[in-house]
Amino acid sequence: MTRLTPATRTTPKTLLSRATTVLIATSLVSIPLLAQQPGLEPTRTQHAMVVSIHHDATDAGVAILKQGGNAVDAAVAVGFALAVVYPAAGNIGGGGFMLIRDKHGKSHFLDYREKAPAAASRDMYLDAQGNVVPGMSLVGYKASGVPGSVAGLAYAQKHYGKLTLAEDMAPSIKLASEGYLLSEEEARALQSKNLTRFPTSTKIFQRDGDFYKEGDTFKQPELAATLIRISKDPDEFYKGAMAKQIADFEKTGGGLITEADLAAYEVKDRKPIKGKYHGYTLITAPPPSSGGIVLVEILNILSTYDLSKLGPGGAETKDRSAAQVHIITEAFRRAYMDRGDYLGDPDFNKLPLKQMAKMKYAAAWRSSIDPAKPTPSASLVRPAGFMPPPPQATPVKESTQTTHFSIVDADGNAVSSTYTLNGGFGSGVTVEGLGFLLNNEMDDFTSKIGVPNVYGLIQGPANSIAPGKRPLSAMTPTIVTTSGHWFKRGKLAYVIGTPGGSTIITTVANDIISTIDNGLNIQQAADAPRFHHQYLPDRLDLEKKFPIPPAEELKAMGYTINRLAVADEKNPGVWGDSELIAIDPKTRELLGGHDSRRSFGKAAGY
């Protein structure tokens, strides 16, 4: 477990005063975080709260809490429910992470990330000439790693839940058998070309070309039968008749997952990474997530800035200035450089986590930040004397199709969970007779050293393909508590997380900054316009609703600006889906913030 010394609020005069003088003097325009939806208030409950991307999944979790289940029971219910109502990312054919903090302050990190099959090899996606075969790691049978979601959710229930697995899964079984009503957005998503490629997927999700429409009821009887079998014996998925069905199906399509691969799968109960930021303790994701340590490094770099005072308005008007965005972006740039060089599966690599988490290292990085202009990534030099020599850098791609949910129960137990199929609807392949989609998580490995990819995100050979290996992830489920004293544990403050591929870490960082530094309520933080920098490519990505005037000011400072995910003006141009909970420090009410970017989710409780 990586522990950090407390951050101070002392601001280096040479940095802050120069930043404030130079940037304000140029009349930079502040960014209205709530320009589109001013005055939004969070959902308030007295006892328990569930926040997810789908209203039916949220209701499933709340129902379990009302039946006497704890936050873990509710998380299991939500996880299985999302496998029914959110097939683009919710799953039993994928994997993910679950961060748990119990009412006594003890935390656990369940790693149920997918694993590479035994037959996987470093060059499996290359042709005879050594070139990457386009789409081979993204679509079809060979794109899938060994699924971990069933094992992870069953493990969580068995070790940390109060009810039975059958009770926790009852809502998902009902949703699959009786169906749920589709919104226009959901019906349109089911028209994915990724599903059209495969007959079983076309039959189930697209009615063989008679596409579902808004208001239709979507029933999944095959999936319902599979969920019933899992509720009776989850081991059947990995060592029984169902495992044989999955392996036989994979074999017919040329996939690599075997019965032996499924039988060998195991959940890892890892120690979370911990850090400090402005009087709060961060409990977050360890490798094979890169998210936690990179988040800690970002906030360590920022810890001595008074961000609320950087730029016009500050916390008083709930604005984030271009001056603030600049400093945060430079922290992103430096931490992502380290992410790219050093991180991978901890079971296969020795990772320099303690070095990355040191405050002296953060201070050395901080001293290289020019408060008036960006540092070009090509000229960035890592501070000497802290880190081992990095291995040769290689690219990796990460999908944005993931989902997150946050839960707090009446006893104060909390869960922050992020899981995924990787790409939208995963590999596109639905297991015949079982009704669930398989992941395309093998695409998160490095296919070939030195070959750029569509996302441009880089990392070291620690993430090359190997049998039994878990690919590096950016998923960053995080729980924040008040720091407390050595003799007294801190109180629960926030439960945070989002999907978004390589943008996950920066979104979580901005959610924390929005609340702790900028004073936004949890709903305002969920809806705030987003920005992202990942070292390479050297550009500042902006969400479409990020205001144009301050973007132009940042461009004038020297940033290359990109309105990420905006193919045309009809495109919503958004990323991420923050599903957040805050605890009112005075009343101890639970405050839920569901990201308004997704119209069919909600925060609810009792």
Give yes or no for a contact between 247 and 238, defined as CB atoms under 8 angstroms apart. Answer: no
Instruction: Work out the angle between the directed axes of helices 221-232 and 165-178 (0-180°, nearest 10).
Output: 170
Give CA–CA dist 484/490, Å, rounded.
Answer: 4
Give yes or no for a contact between 310 and 327, defined as CB atoms under 8 angstroms apart. Answer: yes
Q: What is the DSSP letter of 109?
A: E
Q: How confident is the model at residue 349 (pLDDT cuts 50, 70, 90)?
A: confident
Instruction: Quote the tokens at residue 520.
Output: 């936004």
Instruction: Quote the tokens at residue 295.
Output: 């988040």
Give yes or no for a contact between 477 and 99, defined as CB atoms under 8 angstroms apart. Answer: yes
Q: What is the DSSP letter of 317?
A: G
Q: Name the 3-class secondary structure at 537.
A: coil
100 pLDDT higher than 70: yes
Q: Is 573 left (phi over 0), alpha (psi -120 to 50) or beta?
A: left
pLDDT at 569: 58
For range 80-85, the mean pLDDT? 98
Q: pLDDT digits over 11-30, tens only?
A: 333 333 333 333 323 333 33
pLDDT at 348: 78
Give residues with Cβ within 8 angstroms of 548, minimum separation 6.
Answer: none
Q: How many helices (H) and strands (E) does the chain have?
A: 19, 23
**287-291, 510-514, 544-548: lowest mean pLDDT where?**
544-548
91 pLDDT higher than 80: yes
User: Which residues on neighbouring strands pair with residue 282, listed in sequence order?
Assistant: 275, 480
Q: How confident is the model at residue 127 (pLDDT cuts 50, 70, 90)?
A: confident
229 pLDDT higher than 90: yes
Give CA–CA dist 180/174, Å, rounded.
Answer: 9
Closest CA to 147 of 368, 415, 404, 427: 427
Instruction: Work out the angle between the directed axes of helices 241-252 and 221-232 (0-180°, nearest 10).
Output: 140
Q: How confident is the model at residue 312 (pLDDT cuts 50, 70, 90)?
A: low
pLDDT at 2: 38
Q: How confident is the model at residue 106 (pLDDT cuts 50, 70, 90)?
A: very high
Helix %, strand %, coil % of the chain (to 5): 35, 15, 45
Q: How confident is the model at residue 350 (pLDDT cuts 50, 70, 90)?
A: confident
Q: Which residues are catalytic?
A: 402
pLDDT at 447: 57
pLDDT at 306: 93
Q: pLDDT digits over 435-462, tens only?
A: 999 999 988 776 555 554 334 444 446 6
Rg (CA), the chain: 23
Domains, the chain, ordered by start: 13-43+271-396+475-605 (3.60.20.40)
Instruction: Work out the angle between the directed axes of helices 504-516 and 291-302 (0-180°, nearest 10).
Output: 40
